[in-house]
Structure 1
Amino acid sequence: MFFSCKKILIKASCLIYGTQEEIDNSIKTGLTLPETKIIANPVSYSDFELLCSAEKYADRQNLAKLFNEESLEENLVLTFFSRINYKKGLWDLCLSFLECLKKHNNIKLLIIGLRDDNDLELKIKDEIIPISSNNVVMRSDISGIQAKYLLASSDLFVLPSYQEGFSTAVVEAMSLQVPVLLSRNCNMSFLETLNAGIITDVDAKAISNGIDKFVGLSAVQRKGLADEAFDWITKNASPSTVAFKLDELYNQKVKNYKLT
């Protein structure tokens, strides 16, 4: 599929990417790039105002009910919000979480996922949840605004993917002012430089280290991660910002276009 598109791509006036890492990955394939621009995927117009007002609807109580707890006041809830698939690093995350649970008895893992791999889903139900002491919950029947409510109520969004484009789920989590822990394969390693997220390699030990790092942060430091990520979102992925950048690029290309 890629090679069938290659002839079209090299004829483009400009290729738009979400991050510099995506550009670097294209170059590694041997693709000779025309002009490139980095323009992030925007948070949708319908969700942006709601997402930016997470404090209005973050409901910790509903989150507690999923774990059959009266309160999660002393707990840190890590949320995976993506497809239930090995490619998303979910199995590695589960193993990492169980290891971290031996050291941190205040952490919980919520998996909100679209069914995509029945074998993995059964493996988590059979091998992870029974030994998690009620600290791992997996739900494939929650989506839309209800899922966003729960994500907004979480302490950390985790996506240790093996392969990812510019992830909408990551952008939504950052918009909700929830700190993020991502694999380098999510192509957003720049967040680490900005102190706007925790970036890890894709293996169980590295993910465990990332979780340990987050648990070891103070409440102020965790909020700092979320604030820096939200600042990046407002400057780069708000609907108005992305629309302005696209309009500016389009007008520039039209102005410089020459008939051949």
Structure 2
Amino acid sequence: MAILQITHIVDSLNTQRGGMPRSALGLCEAISASNCKVNLCAVDLGNSFGPLLTSSNENVAIHSVPCRKLNYGNLSLPKGFRKMLAKTVQYADVIHSHGIWSLVCHDAAFFSKTLSVPHVISPRGMLEESALRRSAWKKAIAKYCYVLKNLKAAQCIHALTAQEAMSIRRMGLKNPIAIIPNGISLEPFEKARCGDPLQKRTDKKTILFIGRIHPIKGLKHLLTAWARIKNQFSDWEIVVAGPDDDNHLLELQQVARDNQLEDSVIFRQSVYGKEKEELLHSADLFVLPSFSEGFSMVLLEAMASRLPVVISSSAGCPEVVPARAGLLAEPNANSFEQVLSEVLAMTDEERLQMGSNASALVTDRFQWDAVAAQVISLYGWLRGTEEQPSFVYND
């Protein structure tokens, strides 16, 4: 069987750019096990955005060019990116880009058309209504100039969830849509999965959030809800860990001061690798109050760590409810107040059972091996060597 040559493009692999870099790299490493040679092209935004992710996988080659800031105003590209991309796509069987606003993804569409190579676009939640409202005028310009054209020209659009697929259709896009979730490698979380969860309890039980500290993450209504119920649950605290984005941390710290939450809300810097695994292992509940998500990588990591979860209905993982792995809340303070109160009032044993159910859900549905098999099948269909997969929808 011939080796597939796949080129993936993502705007950045810097660690502080959220879950998309980790998800893109994880997918590349997973599909490389299926007779694929993968080139992953990205921009290095510099040390202020954290170090670049790396891979020890010999079938995944990472290419990057330095750039301090992507310029949306004049449609310029980081110096050297197009030349680098041209070398990697000349023998590509499929081009797969992640995100829609970045100009490096615009270049992916250019080479797809020029070389007649199938192009898959993964919007990664960027077409959700709440995401479109952020920096709306800039996105409206980009959409008019190139984004909508690129999306319409793609041979397939990859949605992480059925909810995201609906958002894509609301844009008027008629392309085939492949619904394939994010994946996860379970190995880093074996300590939490195999150990006795009762041994990780501390003096205070921990409600944990890990992610970018950005308005779209809904942390303000989480703190507002907590201010209303904290006196009922004085043996609990909230830990918020992640990089400050858009100077939102100062606003949240002010909310905490205004509501006398300094003794029960802890803000931490970004955590990665072993430090993040230990933080997940020491927590008792994971929360994701976002207004919009593609499909959160850290949510999968939390569930793999046997944590029960409380997530917003916009977080893209409704499966937690039928799996009894957690509860959904609407992305507002009133709903989170009600749902958090319900979960915190449970016994330790009830929450531990929810965490065990969460771990089982991830094991059954979201391991990288299964996700990679679907993506490889999608690539085969686009190249005309396989039948249309059942997870690809034409309407």
TM exceeding 0.5? yes
- Gaps in structure 2 of 5+ consecutive residues: 1-141, 388-395
Q: CA offset at residue 252 of structure 1? A: 3.6
Alignment of 1:22-41 (within 5 A): 22-34=164-176, 36-41=177-182
Q: CA offset at residue 57 of structure 1? A: 7.9
Letter aligned with residue 181 of structure 2: A
* Of 385, 391, 395, the match for 1:255: 385
Letter aligned with residue 91 of structure 1: K
Q: For 1:151 and 1:110, locate their aligned partners in 2 and report how far apart those are by CA, in whole Å.
A: 11
Q: Alpha-carbon deviations, 1:71-116, whole Å to 9, x = none?
A: 42xx431011111122111111111112111222221101111121
- Aligned twin of 2:189: 51
CA contact 1:60–1:153 (8 Å) conserved in 2: no
Q: For 2:252 and 2:147, locate their aligned partners in 1 and report how far apart those are by CA, in whole Å.
A: 38
Q: For 1:6 and 1:151, locate their aligned partners in 2 and report how far apart those are by CA, in whole Å.
A: 39
* Of 303, 308, 311, the match for 1:182: 311
Over 3 Å counting, the alpha-carbon distance change for 1:59 and 1:204 in structure 2 is same
TM-score of the superposition, structure 2-length normalised? 0.55
- Aligned twin of 2:295: 166
- Structure scoring higher RCO (CA < 8 A, sep ≥ 6) equals 1
Q: For 1:140 and 1:60, locate their aligned partners in 2 and report how far apart those are by CA, in whole Å.
A: 26
Letter aligned with residue 38 of structure 1: I
- Aligned twin of 1:42: 183
CA contact 1:21–1:188 (8 Å) conserved in 2: no
Over 3 Å counting, the alpha-carbon distance change for 1:2 and 1:171 in structure 2 is farther
Over 3 Å counting, the alpha-carbon distance change for 1:252 and 1:231 in structure 2 is farther
| RMSD between aligned residues | 2.7
* Of 245, 249, 255, the match for 1:121: 249
Over 3 Å counting, the alpha-carbon distance change for 1:8 and 1:177 in structure 2 is same
Q: CA offset at residue 31 of structure 1? A: 2.1
Following TM superposition, the consecutive aligned residue runs of length 4 or more in structure 1 with deviations greater than 6 angstroms are: 56-61
Q: For 1:219 and 1:50, locate their aligned partners in 2 and report how far apart those are by CA, in whole Å.
A: 24
- Aligned twin of 1:150: 279
Over 3 Å counting, the alpha-carbon distance change for 1:99 and 1:30 in structure 2 is same
- Aligned twin of 1:102: 231
CA contact 2:220–2:255 (8 Å) conserved in 1: no
* Of 354, 359, 382, the match for 1:230: 359
Over 3 Å counting, the alpha-carbon distance change for 1:256 and 1:144 in structure 2 is closer
Q: Please say if 1:20 is aligned against 2:150.
A: no
Q: For 2:148 and 2:271, locate their aligned partners in 1 and report how far apart those are by CA, in whole Å.
A: 38
Greater CA drift, 176-185 or 25-34: 25-34
Letter aligned with residue 179 of structure 2: I
Q: For 1:91 and 1:142, locate their aligned partners in 2 and report how far apart those are by CA, in whole Å.
A: 21
CA contact 2:307–2:355 (8 Å) conserved in 1: yes
Larger Rg: 2
TM-score of the superposition, structure 1-length normalised? 0.82
Over 3 Å counting, the alpha-carbon distance change for 1:164 and 1:194 in structure 2 is same
Over 3 Å counting, the alpha-carbon distance change for 1:134 and 1:29 in structure 2 is same
Q: Percent identity?
A: 25
Q: CA offset at residue 60 of structure 1? A: 9.3
Q: CA offset at residue 156 of structure 1? A: 0.8
Q: CA offset at residue 56 of structure 1? A: 6.2
Q: For 1:140 and 1:51, locate their aligned partners in 2 and report how far apart those are by CA, in whole Å.
A: 21
Q: For 1:58 and 1:84, locate their aligned partners in 2 and report how far apart those are by CA, in whole Å.
A: 31
CA contact 1:235–1:241 (8 Å) conserved in 2: no
Q: Please say if 1:89 is aligned against 2:227.
A: no
Q: For 1:83 and 1:60, locate their aligned partners in 2 and report how far apart those are by CA, in whole Å.
A: 29
Q: For 1:53 and 1:107, locate their aligned partners in 2 and report how far apart those are by CA, in whole Å.
A: 23
- Gaps in structure 1 of 5+ consecutive residues: 65-70
Letter aligned with residue 210 of structure 1: V
CA contact 2:213–2:242 (8 Å) conserved in 1: yes
Greater CA drift, 185-194 or 9-18: 9-18
Q: CA offset at residue 2 of structure 1? A: 4.3
